[in-house]
Amino acid sequence: MNDVAHGITDANVQQLKAQLTHLTEEKQQGDKALSDLKLMISINPAVIYRLDTEGHITFMSAEIQNLLGFTPGELLGEHISVIAADEDRDKLLPIAAVRTGARMTRGVEVRLKKKNQGSVHAAVNWVTINASGSYAGGFVGDGEESSRGKCRAQLLGTTK
């Protein structure tokens, strides 16, 4: 039997080759975009994180180590509240109130626990990132009491 009898023609083969080339190019563009995003995250001075629908950490940028002393791996799978100081834990728990766009949660001021001892003030942002309810966010922090307004202004894009 020849290929034509099976419905495979040179035109079909050429069409499939063109589709494969197109998909390969799209994958390469996606890989480049992902690489660029990873670079931006790695040089960002803010801590960037992702939470599942229950508030457990699924991604934490390396900047967490500079701010709180934890490695990202130490926090993966933990609930976001484990890094909150006891007096501010309730500020990190209303995960269900996270919204997108102009209504996203911005500049919530909290104290975050350092790994070994002490805490830092931070301004936290949250946004819902998909229909299943996963969340992404970021925060900046500084150990000085007087820096609360500065941290908040940094996250909100204003100057103080």
- Mean pLDDT over 111-125 rounds to 84
The pLDDT, as a whole number, for residue 152 is 47
Question: Is there a contact between 158 and 123 (Cβ–Cβ < 8 Å)?
Answer: no
The pTM for the full model equals 0.60
Mean pLDDT for the chain overall: 74
Tell me the β-bridge partners of 59. 50
Give residue-wise pLDDT tens across range 22-40.
999 999 988 888 777 777 6
**Token pair for residue 119?**
């805490």
End-to-end CA distance of the chain: 78
Dihedral angle, C-alpha 3, 7, 10, 12, nearest 10 °: -140
Question: Could you tell me the CATH superfamily of domain 45-156?
Answer: PAS domain (3.30.450.20)
Residue spans of the domains in the chain: they are: 3-36, 45-156
Give residue-wise pLDDT tens across range 9-19.
888 889 999 99
pLDDT at 147 > cutoff 80? no
Give residue-wise pLDDT tens across range 70-116.
999 999 999 888 888 888 887 766 554 555 566 666 667 888 889 98
**Token pair for residue 86?**
């006891």
Give residue-wise pLDDT tens across range 41-63.
666 667 888 888 777 888 888 88
